[in-house]
């Protein structure tokens, strides 16, 4: 007598594992299970513990901008391959894959928008595009954001979500830190308001350039904000860091950010700031 065929059992196990896939999500904060519809309603914030899960760049636009509409600027800029970088996959291939996977042409979008009827210049990092990494196109678009906003007398809202500078462009990527800070400095001379919004994560060269030099710096709850990560710092300094180090609340207590605002309250809070300051810097 032959051995029993176990193929159907394996198939049943696979079917069981697939049940609910894409229908339910487990909270990364408290492990509560919610339907996808419920989390969509709450903008990916856990109703039980308030943990803020990552939000796509398109969802961010719909959360913050009237009608989710952005009149995009600098759309013709394209990334080159200055180092012919190849780490097993060529850099242009990684760019093409990122464009296809996240429905964006680069790691930031900039343009004109409005929040409750108040016109603004908006920039939003796209974390799904190579971790929101900052290369030459990202730096140039940030410069365009500040320069065009100055010309059109618009306040700037820049949403940061990035792992830092893009290694595939080497020193050209690091140069974008200075470019962004310089563009912000010229914008400051026009006495217009710059609101910086930092969400999880805002790290590396992005954190060390435009992220924390807003007239008002806003952060989401528990967002990781800093240059080097906590583990890197602990290993380098051979010391134990204090609880909550580099999280939004820690930065608020130490004067690095001005407000920590839950996601559902962000649009109203930003609108109030725009109205209060009239688009002018404090």
Distance (Å, whole) CA 165 – CA 102: 19
Are 117 and 155 in contact by the 8 Å Cβ rule? The answer is no
Assess whether pLDDT exceeds 80 at residue 22.
Answer: no
Distance (Å, whole) CA 49 – CA 30: 6
The per-residue pLDDT for 269 is: 98
In this prediction the pTM is 0.90
Assess whether pLDDT exceeds 50 at residue 149.
Answer: yes
How far from the centroid of its chain's Cα atoms is residue 146's Cα? Answer: 18
Assess whether pLDDT exceeds 80 at residue 90.
Answer: yes
Q: What's the CATH fold of domain 54-277?
A: 2-enoyl-CoA Hydratase; Chain A, domain 1 (3.90.226)
The domain locations on the chain are 22-53, 54-277
36 in helix, strand or coil? helix
The per-residue pLDDT for 280 is: 62
- pLDDT digits over 101-128, tens only? 998 999 999 999 999 999 999 999 999 9
Distance (Å, whole) CA 161 – CA 81: 23
């Amino acid at each position: 007598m032959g051995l029993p065929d176990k193929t159907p059992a394996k198939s049943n196990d696979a079917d069981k594992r697939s049940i609910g896939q894409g229908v339910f999500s487990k909270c990364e904060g408290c492990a509560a299970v919610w339907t996808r519809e419920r989390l969509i309603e709450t903008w990916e914030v856990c109703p039980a513990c308030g943990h803020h899960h990552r939000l796509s760049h398109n969802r961010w636009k719909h959360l913050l901008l009237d009608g989710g509409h952005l009149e995009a600027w600098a759309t013709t800029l394209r990334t080159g391959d200055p180092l012919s970088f190849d780490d097993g996959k060529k850099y242009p291939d990684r760019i093409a894959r990122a464009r296809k996977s996240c429905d964006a042409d680069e790691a930031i979008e900039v343009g004109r928008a409005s929040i409750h009827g108040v016109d603004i210049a908006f920039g939003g990092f796209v974390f799904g595009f190579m971790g929101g990494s900052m290369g030459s196109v990202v730096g140039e678009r940030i410069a365009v954001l500040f320069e065009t906003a100055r010309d059109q007398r618009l306040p700037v809202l820049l949403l940061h979500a990035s792992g830092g500078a893009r290694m595939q462009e080497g020193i050209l990527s690091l140069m974008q830190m200075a470019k962004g800070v310089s563009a912000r400095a010229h914008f400051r001379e026009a006495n217009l308001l710059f609101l910086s919004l930092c969400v999880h994560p805002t790290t590396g060269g992005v954190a060390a350039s435009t992220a924390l030099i807003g007239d008002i710096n806003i952060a989401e709850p528990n967002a990781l904000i800093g240059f080097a990560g906590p583990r890197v710092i602990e290993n380098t300094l051979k010391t134990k860091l204090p609880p909550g180090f580099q999280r939004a609340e820690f930065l608020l207590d130490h004067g690095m950010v001005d407000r920590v605002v839950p996601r559902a309250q962000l649009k109203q809070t930003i609108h109030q700031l725009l109205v209060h300051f009239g688009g002018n810097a404090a």
